[in-house]
């Protein structure tokens, strides 16, 4: 449901470049197709651990946001990124809490986002990480 179907000529290129695996957290096919259509060339394969734009995040990604193409599809409500005081703040939406507990979000944040200076704002008192 969250993997864009590729036209056969692009699918062949993807196989040659070994882009055939689906990604748990990102719609890689959407990234491939939209980049190909925009630039008229096949995009470079992101290296392991590279963070793609929010546009292709699937609903169960910890920072699934309003910027995702899957926000407001069905009952998906992504979180919101807000910038203030030279920092990015992420306020999780209903879908973030559907797939992750506060503890899981904090753990993800500590290992992935905090080093970038980003700040997580959770529901309730004193829940800023």
Q: Which of 29, 9, 8 is nearest to 20 (CA)?
A: 29
- pLDDT string in tens for the chain (129-residue length): 899 999 999 988 888 887 766 688 999 899 999 988 988 888 877 777 667 889 999 999 999 999 999 999 999 999 999 998 888 899 999 999 999 999 999 999 998 888 778 888 887 654 555
Q: Are residues 9 and 21 in the same domain?
A: yes
Per-residue model confidence (pLDDT) at position 95? 97
Parent domain of 78: 54-120
Reported in sequence order, the residue ranges of the chain that DSSP labels E, i.e. its strands, are 80-84, 87-91, 119-120
Q: How many domains does the chain have?
A: 2
Q: Are residues 60 and 110 in the same domain?
A: yes
Q: Are residues 2 and 30 in the same domain?
A: yes
**Residue 113, SS3 per DSSP:** helix
- Quick check: is 31 in a domain? yes
Separation CA 87–CA 28 (nearest Å): 28
- Quick check: is 126 in a domain? no
């Amino acid at each position: 449901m969250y993997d864009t179907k590729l036209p056969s000529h692009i699918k062949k290129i993807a196989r040659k470049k070994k882009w055939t695996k689906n990604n748990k957290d990102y719609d890689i096919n959407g990234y491939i197709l939209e980049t190909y259509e925009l630039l008229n060339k096949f995009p470079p394969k992101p290296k392991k651990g590279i963070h793609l734009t929010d546009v292709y995040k699937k609903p169960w990604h910890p920072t699934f946001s309003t910027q995702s193409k899957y926000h407001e599809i069905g009952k998906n409500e992504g979180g919101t990124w807000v910038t203030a005081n030279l920092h990015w703040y992420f306020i999780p939406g209903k879908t973030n809490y559907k797939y992750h507990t506060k503890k899981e979000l904090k753990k993800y944040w500590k290992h992935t986002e905090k080093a970038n200076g980003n700040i997580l704002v959770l529901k309730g008192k004193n829940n800023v990480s």
